[in-house]
Structure 1
């Protein structure tokens, strides 16, 4: 009996254990700490270029009101292992724009890594690499992939933050104006504050080719989310209540599409149309009659598949 116990103890001590640990309550509180109605300030400025001949671009600034909220949770009720966070932008008093989405997944081992030209490849983390980490998966306004990274939430010296470096496509503020680089390497730093949170960025603008990556310029980004009166986000809450079912179906179809592929590439346009606009038009069409999730998902899939290379 003693020999059996000794052997069992020796096995436990010498063999690696990859079983999941439960997410920390403070991690979940940090992720949810990004939620609320916010006054948002976006500032970006180029800071460095290796070539003296490079002409720095003008600083970019923008302001708005944004509703950030958990739309879905998966896992144990008190310690979810996945949280879907939706952003809705309020323009003026009543116009609402579906903004970006971020999924937070605990100890996730499968990520889509951006390459270039609207293409991504699946990479795998070992369970040991992902242990204790949260993956942030960021999606476009049409719920197509954008960038995904994994890191550990840090709680030290009264600070709470998460930081990851990933490759990403150009942001909207750049790709509508520039063609002189094709990859943005983003260091994303999310830090929770009592009155909201800060999304601090150190970004490298890269020219990627078969020869490798060449740095064009670096920039600093600072997005501040400061909580404000919930009444300023009433239009967004009303809009989501009316449109959530459709966009949840879009999200589900995209989930199926991405899960079935180890690589994905997306066309920018099809016959002069863009995916986001077609999905918006389909949303308007589905609202003209009693909503049918099954038929809507079929139409959503047909629309998305037109844009897959």
Structure 2
């Protein structure tokens, strides 16, 4: 089993140490993914890629890491045989945030106040269309961040649910232990696949590791240029999502179809700088998939 959870140091990071750990997740990386289902081997995932990750301070006490994926095979990319570049998922970190969106099930989220612990961070994971996947609180301790949270099914498993063993499940309870330093970072997962009926029923366990190995490669410069060509559009998309959810206590995401729509618009803007979309137009598109 690849999962070997990290024992957290008794030393608690300072705020500046926390930010340095978050920043350490930015740069140019060779990335490997390994996820293993203990009941259904056909649900396993192994994949490799290369990513360039941009760090940005969004506002005071809030930071963003945007991933740009480069090709599917890191060895091919490093050899220059595969140069496909695309926006990937984004993570966000907010210090001592008082409110979180908790995932319920059925692509529904509920806004809830939380008790703010000193030194805590809310970690957010966003889809390719900037819709929220999940968020949860934790603390950095000795360069390690741990958190657990209910989350939607991975997109790779939505089309295969019910699973090959005939068992459907409703949510993925994620436990993540994240370690980051200047050599790269590792995300260790011990996930539970849960079916909701009269009570929470454990369908299967999943162990996972995502390893980010820091490298230097000129294709990461291409990825940075790619991101710079369309990041203003994606900031508008983020702003539109924030405006749409402002004042809501809950919401339902009806589909992921905006992933294709927004990705296409981003590519058009990258190839033709005269292409643009107004905030109101983006908001109207979001309202078609949110209720």
Fold shared by both chains (TM-score > 0.5): yes
Aligned to 1:303: 285
Give 1:175 shift: 1.6
Aligned to 2:31: 40
Give 1:178 shift: 2.2
CA contact (8 A) 1:111 1:123 kept: yes
Aligned to 2:145: 162
Root mean square deviation, CA, Å: 2.0
Larger mean Cα displacement after TM superposition, 137-146 or 83-92:
83-92
Please say if 1:82 is aligned against 2:62.
yes
CA contact (8 A) 1:64 1:89 kept: yes
CA contact (8 A) 2:187 2:209 kept: yes
Please say if 1:70 is aligned against 2:70.
no
Give 1:67 shift: 1.1
Give 1:56 shift: 4.5
Aligned to 1:186: 174
5+ residue gaps, structure 2, are: 1-13, 72-76, 163-167
Give 1:227 shift: 0.5
Cα distance between partner residues in 2 of 1:97 and 1:154: 33
Larger mean Cα displacement after TM superposition, 217-226 or 260-269:
260-269
Aligned to 1:207: 195
Please say if 1:259 is aligned against 2:246.
yes
Change in 2 beyond 3 A, CA 1:260/1:286: farther
Larger mean Cα displacement after TM superposition, 279-288 or 250-259:
279-288
Q: Deviations over 1:254-309 (max 9, x none)?
A: 1222232111111126xxxx1111222333555656355xx521111111110013
5+ residue gaps, structure 1, are: 1-22, 50-54, 76-80
Give 1:233 shift: 1.3
Cα distance between partner residues in 1 of 2:264 and 2:59: 30
CA contact (8 A) 2:126 2:134 kept: yes
Larger mean Cα displacement after TM superposition, 132-141 or 167-176:
167-176
Q: Secondary structure at the match of 1:57?
A: helix
Aligned to 1:30: 21
Give 1:238 shift: 1.4
Among residues 183, 187, 200, which one is paired with 1:195 in the alignment?
A: 183
Among residues 119, 125, 135, which one is paired with 2:122 in the alignment?
A: 135
The higher-RCO structure (CA 8 Å, 6+ apart) is 2
Change in 2 beyond 3 A, CA 1:164/1:303: same
Aligned to 1:144: 131
Larger mean Cα displacement after TM superposition, 56-65 or 280-289:
280-289
Query: TM-score, length-normalised on structure 2?
Result: 0.85
Please identify the structure whose Cα radius of gyration is greater: 1
Cα distance between partner residues in 2 of 1:304 and 1:97: 21
Please say if 1:242 is aligned against 2:218.
no
Alignment length (residue pairs): 264
Cα distance between partner residues in 2 of 1:142 and 1:261: 20
Q: Deviations over 1:4-34 (max 9, x none)?
A: xxxxxxxxxxxxxxxxxxx611111111111
